[in-house]
């Protein structure tokens, strides 16, 4: 069992948990993920690592409530335990040799983009961050990004905070302003990552995307997380989760992501009802 050391709601649907997992904390690197199970009958869900404290022996995850499992996870209190917590899985984000990088995060994806930006910053890389949200109320990690970015652009779709722009527009402005990036790292909803690569392709800037397909074991055993990358089948859990954005077949990945949509919606409603009953 794995203890929840800290719990913090970042916005109404995004929560941060710090989990006691000393061995994972010792090895974790930005870009890697963990798999957890909330309880005995729980499903295994992958979540990318948002941070780690090697001294304290804790690993941080930030998640959005999207289905039954994240709903249950969100009801766990500080001091309570998670059934299973395994990692670090996948390959770390490669940062070697980079001098100037644009980090583009969208929504809860910013939680994963942040440790990457931080690592790059710590290694002396010039970091330009673009973080985008639907609206003001769900902006997260702004201060954290500010601390590790040479340039920070905060965008909202509705203009209620920061620039009224999509991250793609903000990124394109930066590129047009003459910034020459060695690489763009983009993490967020799959559709957003697809459009970001659409922009960077125009300017031929290498782009790394972080994929989070449906997964079970996370060690290469089930093949459920497979993607087509450069015409070849790759397993996100062992070959990724970072891939060259120009090579990823996003449309296929988007379709594969909807495999259990009906089940998930139904289960989430069930879970919500259950929690409502408990409250009564």
- Does 24 bind another protein (CB under 8 A)? Our answer is yes
The distance of closest approach from Cβ of residue 174 to another protein in the complex, given in angstroms and rounded to an integer, is 34
The interface mask with another protein, positions 68-107, x = CB under 8 A, is xx--x----------xxxxxxx------------------
Residues 216-235 that bind another protein (CB under 8 A): 216-224, 226-228, 233, 235
Cα 83 to Cα 9: distance, rounded to the nearest angstrom: 21
Token pair in block for residue 244: 């060259």
Of 15 and 70, which has the nearer Cβ to another protein?
70
The interface mask with another protein, positions 168-207, x = CB under 8 A, is ----------------------------------------
Cα 248 to Cα 254: distance, rounded to the nearest angstrom: 11
Q: Residue 170 — left, alpha, or beta (φ > 0 → left; ψ -120 to 50 → alpha)?
A: alpha
The distance of closest approach from Cβ of residue 140 to another protein in the complex, given in angstroms and rounded to an integer, is 26
Tell which residue, 83, 81, 50, has the closest CA to residue 64. 50
Cα 17 to Cα 52: distance, rounded to the nearest angstrom: 11
Tell which residue, 97, 141, 107, 101, has the closest CA to residue 121. 101
- Does 8 bind another protein (CB under 8 A)? Our answer is no
The distance of closest approach from Cβ of residue 162 to another protein in the complex, given in angstroms and rounded to an integer, is 35
Residue that the structure tokens 């913090």 belong to: 8
Cα 219 to Cα 85: distance, rounded to the nearest angstrom: 14
Q: Which stretch binds another protein (CB under 8 A): 20-28, 157-165, 188-196, 201-209?
A: 20-28
Alpha helix ranges (H) inside the chain:
22-27, 68-74, 110-122, 142-148, 167-176, 190-203, 236-239, 250-256, 261-279
The interface mask with another protein, positions 242-271, x = CB under 8 A, is ----------x--xx-xxx--xx--x----
Q: Catalog residues that contact another protein under the rule CB under 8 A.
A: 23-24, 27, 37, 41-44, 68-69, 72, 83-89, 216-224, 226-228, 233, 235, 238, 252, 255-256, 258-260, 263-264, 267
């Amino acid at each position: 069992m794995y203890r929840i050391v800290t719990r913090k709601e970042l916005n109404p649907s995004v929560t941060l948990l710090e989990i006691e997992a000393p061995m994972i904390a010792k090895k974790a690197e930005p870009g890697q993920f963990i798999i957890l199970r909330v309880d005995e009958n729980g499903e295994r869900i992958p979540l990318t690592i948002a941070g780690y404290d090697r001294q304290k022996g804790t690993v941080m995850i930030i998640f959005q409530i999207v289905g039954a499992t994240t709903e249950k996870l969100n009801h766990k209190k500080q001091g309570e335990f998670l059934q299973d917590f395994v990692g670090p899985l996948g390959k770390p984000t490669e940062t070697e040799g980079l001098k100037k990088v644009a980090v583009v995060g969208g929504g809860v994806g910013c939680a994963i983009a942040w440790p990457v930006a931080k690592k790059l910053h710590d290694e002396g890389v010039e970091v330009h961050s673009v973080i985008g949200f639907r609206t003001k109320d769900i902006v997260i990690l702004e201060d954290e990004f500010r601390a590790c970015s040479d340039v920070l652009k905060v965008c909202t779709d509705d203009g209620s905070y920061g620039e009224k722009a999509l991250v793609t527009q903000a990124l394109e402005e930066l590129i047009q302003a003459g910034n020459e990036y060695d690489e763009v790292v983009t993490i967020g909803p799959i559709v957003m990552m697809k459009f970001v690569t659409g922009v960077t392709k125009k300017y031929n800037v290498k782009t790394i995307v972080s994929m989070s397909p449906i997964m079970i074991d996370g060690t290469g055993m089930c093949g459920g997380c497979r993607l087509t990358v450069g015409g070849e089948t790759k397993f996100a859990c062992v070959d990724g989760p970072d891939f060259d954005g120009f090579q990823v077949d996003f449309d296929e990945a988007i379709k594969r992501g909807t495999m259990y949509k009906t089940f998930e919606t139904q289960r989430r409603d069930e879970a919500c009802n259950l929690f409502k009953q408990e409250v009564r």
